[in-house]
Amino acid sequence: MNAFFAQLPPGLLLQVLAGMAVNLQIACLALVIGLALGAPPAFGRLHQGVLGAISAGIVGLMRATPTFVVMFFLLNVIPPHIRLFGMSFTLSGTMIVVISLVPYSVYYVAESGAESIKQLRLNSPLAALLFLPNLARAFFVLVMASSSGAAIGVHESITTILRQAERMPVAGDRLALFAMGALLFGITLQTGFVLVDLLRRYLADLVTRRATVIPMVDRKELYGYE
């Protein structure tokens, strides 16, 4: 065991944490773009006719779009330097991963957003607030999915672990490093999922209690008894 830790550079943990910060950055950007692009289909899904059909089609397309296909399409087909409206843009590896995660983000925002708007129209603001834990859950899913950036060399946490593992001659040591990385990543994400689930249960409990209290109040106001 001492020989295993002797192979690890002193700053490896800091490098992994810095890589995890990149994972969080990718997830934040994908979620912000998803909020901006997912809001119109969310409102559109509440309408009948052509607008509702178009919105449902967009959401279905976003749901069916594979992340890896988008990522490798952007990597191999789209040039890294793009000129648009007289401005020059550089498509970095990080932005490629962000854009590849946008379809999932748009789908999740549109689905959860439509349900939240529906609850607001039904005069149930607490039920509409369930959109927030759903959004937080989507964020942690995006953090997990951002590790796909390792396939194209993005300097995130999984890439850091893979590069260090390549320097280890013994397969058992490489597996042990993978296990440590998975444990660190897993503990962080599972903690987030648990907190989100607790918030979601709390809000759901408030919605349930409000649904049982309001009819009793209404009866008292109308008839003078509960």
pLDDT interval class at 106 (50, 70, 90): very high
At residue 213, the pLDDT reads 55
Whole-structure pTM over 0.85, yes or no?
Answer: no
**Contact status, residue 185 vs residue 134, Cβ threshold 8 Å:** no
At residue 40, the pLDDT reads 93
Q: What value does the mean pLDDT of the chain take? A: 82
pLDDT tens profile 41-90: 999 988 888 888 999 898 888 888 888 888 888 877 777 777 766 777 77
- In whole angstroms, give the CA distance from residue 88 to residue 202: 47
Q: What residue segments make up the domains of the chain, in order of their start?
A: 11-223
Q: How are beta strands 87-90 and 81-84 bridged, if at all?
A: antiparallel
Percent of the chain's residues with pLDDT above 70? 90
| CA–CA distances in Å: residue 61 to residues 34, 73, 86, 106 | 14, 16, 31, 10
Take residue 83 and report the two structure tokens written for it: 């000129």
Sheet strands (E) in 47-203? 81-84, 87-90
Is CATH 1.10.3720.10 the classification given to domain 11-223? yes
- Give the Cα-Cα-Cα angle 100, 101, 103 (nearest 5 degrees): 90
Kindly state the average pLDDT of the residues 21-36.
Answer: 94
